Every structure is written in structure tokens, then in C-alpha cells.
Structure 1
Amino acid sequence: MFQALSSVLLPVILVAGLGALLSSRFPVDQGTVSRLTLYLLSPALVLDVILRTPVKVGEALHLGGAYLLTLGLCLALGWACGWGQPNLTRRSYSASVGIWNSGNMGLPIALFAFGQSGFERATVLFLASFVGMYLVGPALYSLGRGGAHWLDSLRDVLRLPALWATGLGLALRLLHVPLPEGLTRGVSLLAQATLPMILLTLGLHLGAAGWPRLTPRVWLASAARLVGGPLIALGVGRALGLDGANLAVLILSAAMPTAVNALLIAREYDADVGTVADVITLSTVLSVVTIAAVVTLLPRLG
């Protein structure tokens, strides 16, 4: 399993490292890069995944509901990690614990651990995470901030095209309406660029900001993400009656480090970007050990 993890983590470290090197040598407009990913590439990825992945409705609803409940509890845990901190910093701790990397790490690791059936279940969680991320993330940073009206927060959520891409993809699947081949290929090309661009975004920030601040709260939030996440998923899965395979995939997904998308959302809403980036970096490094431990322990649940 360590060999499998290294084959997943090494490309992640390589791409982010190249972004950091570039940012440390040349001035890069990180806001433009983040918006390119948030408003163009990410919607293409979620649309591509919905159109290409076989998803059973009953299983998707069961797993999706379990994910959303786990997400809510992880957000609350992150909120507790930021107790006593300024408002935006506390919200950033909540996002750092509640938004995890179910995509470019969760999908391949599920494939290595459980084969194709595990990969398909992990894809369902990946879709749920996209919806949850782009609903909860903007709301987390908007609601109750600076006296903003709730309608303003709702507009912040609805202006993100990833949600509209999700609705479009689901409608096309339910109605059995295929996209023209040329359009499908264009969406697929954009989708393939999403994960590398997300990793570059992290590297660009780290290269400009330098080594992360390893404060006690950053360690606490990383532990909450890597240890608290799978424990919460275990409790939620048991409570909702998930079977062995679905329960294992949910726990493994919740054991992933903080998602780089959390950084994109924090930057878009002028939140505490530094705190999110610090937790992303530390949790990603520590996850080499914690994910291996989770995979080792999962068979005992059966």
C-alpha cells in the first residue's frame, strides 16, 4: 500500500512543487489562475464525470446522504478547532477540516484499495463532494459576514457554475440525451486540465508564501481532518446502515487531506488563505501515514 500511495502522492508533490518553483521565480497573478479553475475547469470536470460514470440512483442517494452528514460534522469539528480566533480564520479552519480531497487523491487510492467497484463508489462521493463543496464553501464564508443579507449569500452560491454544471449533467443523464461528440470532447479536454491546475494553484501559493506556519492549531486541524474525519464517517456510516463496501469507501474518502479547492474558495471570498494553505500542506504530508493506517484497519470492519 505504501508503494501505491507513493505512486499517487509523488505526482501531486511534483506538480505542486513545480508551481511553487515558478511562483518563487516569477510574479504570477494567482487570483486569475484560481478563477480560471473555479469558473471554467471545475464545472467541466464535474460535467464530464456525471456523463461518463455509471451511477445507481439508490446507492448514490445513500452514499451522498452519508457524505453530506459527515461533511456537516467535520465542518463543526473544524469550527471547534478555530475557537477563539478571528471570524474569518475560524471559518477557514472549518473549511480546512470539512472540505477534503475526494478527487485527485481519493479516487486513485480507492481504486488501488478496492478495485473498480470501489472506484465507482468513490466517484459517487466525488460528485457529492462537488455539490457539497460549492454549496457549503461559499455559504460558510458569506453567511453572517459583515452584515450581509442572506439573499446576497444565496447569490454567491448560485453564481458558481459548478452547481449549474451538476444540474445540467444530471438532467442529461436522466433524460438520456447525449451531447454532440465535438462538445463532449471539448468538455473532456477541459476536465483533464482541472486536477493539474488545482495542484499548480496550491504550489503557486506556497511558492509565494513560503514554508507553512506549523502552529499548534494547524497541527490540531490537520489531526481533525485525518483522524477525526474517518472516525466521524465510521459513526455516520454505521448510523445510516451502510454495507461493508460502501462504508469502507466512505471512511477512506473522509481520511483524505484537505482539498486544494478549499484554497480556491477561500481566495475567492477574501478569507484566511494562509491558514487553509497551511492545513492543506501539513495534512497532505501526514496523510501518507494516516491513509495507510486506515486502509490497513478497514478489513477489520467486516
Structure 2
Amino acid sequence: MAHLFFIFVDIILPVFILIAVGIIMQRIFQLDLYTLAKINIYFLSPALIFIKLYESSFSLSLFLQVIMFSFAFVVILYVLSMATAKLCKLSDKMRLSFSNSIIFYNSGNYGIPVNDLVFKQDPFAMSIQIAVMAFQNTLTFSYGVVALKSVHGGKLKAVLGYFKMPLFYAMFIGILFNVLNVPLPNFILTPISYISNALIAMALLTVGAQIAHINISFTYIPLYLNIFYRLVVGPVIALIGLLLLGLDGVIAQALLISTAMPTSVNSAIIAQEYNNEPEFASQTVIATTLLSSFTLTLVIFVAMHIF
């Protein structure tokens, strides 16, 4: 019960305050949602990815181990979500949004605070979460963007479009500078840090601005299915995988907890950017974030007692 209280007060409540600000500002000022999405994807997200990868403390073997687990986990979720979408006879655009909202989860601005709270600032546990975040960000802004672009245009054009985005280069340079221990002066690090710190507020404000146009309907069947897959099926699959792999201790605990995060805000942002069912994407962010305060508490309990 104590974990539930701390998660709600320290993570959930601040999230909804920022979303509420976005709703209010949209209704008063009629913000340009397309411009907000551009700012998030092309300005704020690259800074966050670079600074987190540059400043993280991790070994290459641990990083690769976490990436391999995360990749296998996402592939299983992708197959299940796509099969479900086909059975429900969803449209191509809705099928993609449905799948993205399940495989892209909030490993950064939600996952990092939760990791910090559960493991009491343990640097080893945090390095695991950083690796998960790096994989999720790469997946979101590579496959996620390519898949959305391919709905509206050619796949080759979509792939080339990804390499024009700063996200890829921010990730590559962040890892390279970290491994090579490249020192950066404060006059470079300081503005990057300021920019990255603005992402959480701007991303949630953008979601709030999107929600201002939405009537959330909890009778919408794909939304219920999305909640079930993201918050229940995902952690169960991860638990089975960790037990089969024989992983234990902090790495197993951190990985299991990381898979119980709600749908990523970035999935709603790129849905807005490419106009691919943005209302549904925003609904899943809100619904899974709200309900994760309960499901995540149970996952934390299971992780700490089994591993």
C-alpha cells in the first residue's frame, strides 16, 4: 500500500497535473499540435537520448544483455498484438497504432523515477533502466516512425527519412562518447541538459493538448485490449522469460518492473506527428498511466519476492 501511495503522489499526480495544463492551454490558446510534435521529436528528444546515454554508467555486456531481452520481449508482444488486431478486423492505421501502444512503453520519464524509488538510487539498477530506455527510444523513433511513414508513403522513403532525423545521431554519439570517455565542456553539456529537462513537461503538455479534442470512451474495445496487453500480458510474458533464462537478483527485478510501465508518451507524439489515430494513441497513454499505479505496485511486489 505504501508503494502505491508513493507511486501515485510522486509520479502519477505530477503527470496528470502537466496533462491538465496542456488541456487548459489548448482550450484557451488553440495551440498548434503539429508544431508541438515537431518540437518534441526534433529538438527535445535528441537532447534527452544523448545526455542519458552519455552520462550513464554501464558495461557493454550488460547493455547488450538488456537489449537482447528487450528485443525478444517486444517481438513477442508485437506478434500477439498484430494477431489480436487482425482478429478484431482493425484498419491498417488502427492496427499499427494499437500495436505501437503496446510495444512502446514509458521507460524514461516514468520508468526512471520508478527505478530510482524501488532500488533507492542503486547505480547498477539504474544502468539497466537506462539500457531499456535507450532501446525503447531507438525502437520508437526508428521502427515506430518508419512504420507510420510507410502507411502514408513508401517504406524506402520512410527508412531514409529516419536517417534524416537527429534521434539516430543523438543515440550513436551518446553511446560513442560514453564508451570513449570523451569529455565535454560545461558550455555544451549545460544547454543540452536544459533542453532534455524540458522534454517531460513538453511531452505531457502535448498529450494534454491532444486530449482537449478527445472524448475518452472506455467502451472502446481496442482500448480495453490495449490496457490488458500493456499492463498485464506484458509483465507476465517478461516474468516467464526471466524464469526460463534463469536470471535473478537486481537485473531480473529491474527488467520485470521495466516491462510494467504504461504506454509511452512518445507513441502519442509520433501518432500526432504522422496523423495516425492520434486520439486513440492519447487515450491509451492516459488509461494505462492511470491504471499502472495499481498494476505496477503488484509487479514490484512480485519482482522483489520471486527474484
Q: TM-score scaled by structure 1?
A: 0.94
2:261 paired with 1:256: yes
For residue 4 of structure 1, what is the aligned residue in structure 2? 6
Q: Are residues 1:197 and 2:202 paired? A: yes
What is the total number of aligned residue pairs between the two structures?
Answer: 300
Aligned to 1:154: 159
d(CA) in 1 for partners of 2:243, 2:168: 29
Aligned to 2:44: 41
Q: Which amino acid aligns with 1:242?
A: L
Q: Which among 10, 25, 28 is matched to residue 28 of structure 2? A: 25
1:232, CA displacement in angstroms?
1.9
Matching residue's letter, 1:55 = F
Structure 2 distance, partners of 1:110, 1:198, is 20
Structure 2 counterpart of 1:61, which letter?
A: L
2:59 to 52, 56, 61: 56
1:160 deviation in Å?
2.3
CA distance, structure 2, for counterparts of residue 134 and residue 236 of structure 1: 26
Q: Bigger shift: 39-48 or 115-124?
A: 115-124
Quick one: distance in 1 between partners of 2:92 and 2:304? 41
SS at match of 2:120: helix
2 CA distance for matches of 1:277 and 1:160? 23
**Distance change >3 Å, CA 191–CA 115, structure 1 → 2:** same
Q: What is the CA RMSD across the aligned residues, in angstroms?
A: 1.6
Q: Does 1:123 align with 2:130?
A: yes
1: distance between equivalents of 2:92 and 2:188?
43
For 2:85, the equivalent position in structure 1 comes to: 82
Mapping for residues 101-120 of structure 1, pairs under 5 Å: 101-117=106-122, 118-120=125-127
Note the C-alpha offset of 1:212. Answer: 4.6
Q: Unpaired segments of 5 or more residues in structure 1?
A: none
Q: Offset at 1:66?
A: 0.8
**More displaced, 71-80 or 236-245?**
236-245
Aligned AA for 2:189? T
User: Which runs of 5 or more structure 2 residues have no equivalent in the other structure?
Assistant: none
Q: Distance in 2 between matches of 1:174 and 1:47?
A: 13
Deviations 1:263-291 (Å, cap 9, x if unpaired)? 11112222111111111111111111111
Deviation per residue, 1:56-112 (Å, 9 max, x gap): 111111011111211222222322342201100000000010100111111111111
**Superposition deviation, residue 168 in structure 1:** 0.8
Q: Find the aligned partners of 2:157 and 2:53 in 1 and give their Cα distance.
A: 29
- Kindly indicate whether residue 135 of structure 2 is the aligned counterpart of residue 133 of structure 1: no
Task: Return the match for 1:294 from 293, 299, 305.
Answer: 299
- The within-5 A match list for 1:202-281 is 202-212=207-217, 214-281=219-286
Letter in 1 for 2:110: M
Which whole-Å CA distance do the structure 2 matches of 1:159 and 1:76 have between them?
29
Question: What secondary structure sits across from 2:198 in the alignment?
Answer: helix
